[in-house]
């Protein structure tokens, strides 16, 4: 027969379940561990472990961010990059509209500004041109601003505007005139303008037309 003490112990065990074992070590997050940063070395994938998860290797990041008052080489490189980019950006062309161009050709004291029609000669024969404009076709003669002055005059029968002269380009709808302005700048012309509305805008608003030298 079981003793009275053994029966009492069995009764206590069945009435109260056993407590889970208390862990021997408790991991506590400290400020030093919280401030430590890690990054995953994703360039080298580790083989999967037995539990099915991929092993990860962590590399601590060392170094401090520069204080607001301290100078850094990155700031100097950004300023140097900004200045170099500003030098490489092309200069903007002067934009002309219908009113400004009409005032130019009707002024009794017309300034020394050359209007250049970059359409093909066949287009000028059909529609005419803005009074006083010279024809330099950019599609069939894209090298017109890179050849010598003598070759230019032999080709077109008139002298080419000087590199320091102010020029205004137009075409039919503004596309070829913008390209011609860019070619002129590449060849050394600096005082360059363009008429984005070009011939379509000029004709629609009733601008004067010159045909075969007659206005």
Tell me, what CATH number does 135's domain have?
3.40.250.10
pLDDT attached to residue 175: 97
**Residue 184 placed within a domain:** yes
Higher-scoring residue by pLDDT: 141, 87: 141
Question: Rounded to an integer, what distance in angstroms lies between the CA atom of residue 57 and that of residue 45?
Answer: 9
Q: Check pLDDT > 50 for residue 26.
A: no
110 is catalytic: no
Q: Among 124, 133, 171, 183, which one carries the catalytic annotation?
A: 171
**Residue 172 placed within a domain:** yes
**Residue 199 placed within a domain:** yes
Question: Whole-model pTM?
Answer: 0.59
Q: 68: which 2 tokens?
A: 């607001």
pLDDT band at 170 (very low <50, low <70, confident <90, very high): very high
- The parent domain of residue 118 ranges over 94-204
pLDDT band at 35 (very low <50, low <70, confident <90, very high): very low
pLDDT attached to residue 86: 43
Residue 138: name the closest of 117, 158, 161, 123 by CA: 117
What average pLDDT does the structure give for the chain?
76
Q: Check pLDDT > 60 for residue 171.
A: yes
User: What is residue 103's three-state secondary structure?
Assistant: helix
pLDDT attached to residue 43: 47
**Residue 197 placed within a domain:** yes
Report the percent of the chain where pLDDT is more than 90: 52
**Residue 198 placed within a domain:** yes
Question: Rounded to an integer, what distance in angstroms lies between the CA atom of residue 213 and that of residue 211?
Answer: 5
**Residue 75 placed within a domain:** no
Report the percent of the chain where pLDDT is more than 70: 57
Cβ neighbour number for residue 79 with a 10 Å cutoff:
10
Q: 211: which 2 tokens?
A: 């045909």
């Amino acid at each position: 027969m079981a003793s009275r003490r053994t029966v009492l112990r069995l009764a206590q065990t069945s009435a109260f379940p056993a407590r889970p074992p208390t862990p021997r070590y408790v991991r506590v997050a400290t400020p030093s561990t919280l401030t430590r940063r890690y990054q995953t070395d994703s360039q080298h994938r580790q083989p999967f472990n037995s539990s099915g998860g991929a092993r990860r290797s962590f590399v601590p990041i060392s170094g401090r961010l520069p204080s607001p008052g301290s100078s850094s080489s990155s700031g100097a490189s950004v300023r140097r990059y900004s200045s170099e980019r500003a030098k490489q950006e092309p200069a903007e062309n002067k934009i002309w509209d219908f009113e400004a161009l009409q005032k130019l050709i009707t002024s009794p004291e017309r300034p020394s500004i050359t209007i250049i029609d970059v359409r093909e000669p066949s287009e000028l024969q059909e529609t005419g041109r803005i009074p006083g404009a010279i024809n330099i076709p950019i599609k069939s003669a894209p090298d017109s601003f890179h050849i010598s002055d003598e070759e230019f005059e032999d080709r077109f029968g008139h002298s080419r505007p000087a590199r320091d002269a102010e020029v205004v380009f137009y075409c039919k709808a503004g596309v070829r005139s913008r390209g011609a302005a860019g070619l002129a700048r590449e060849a050394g012309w600096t005082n360059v303008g363009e008429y984005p509305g070009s011939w379509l805008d000029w004709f629609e608003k009733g601008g004067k037309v010159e045909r075969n030298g007659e206005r």
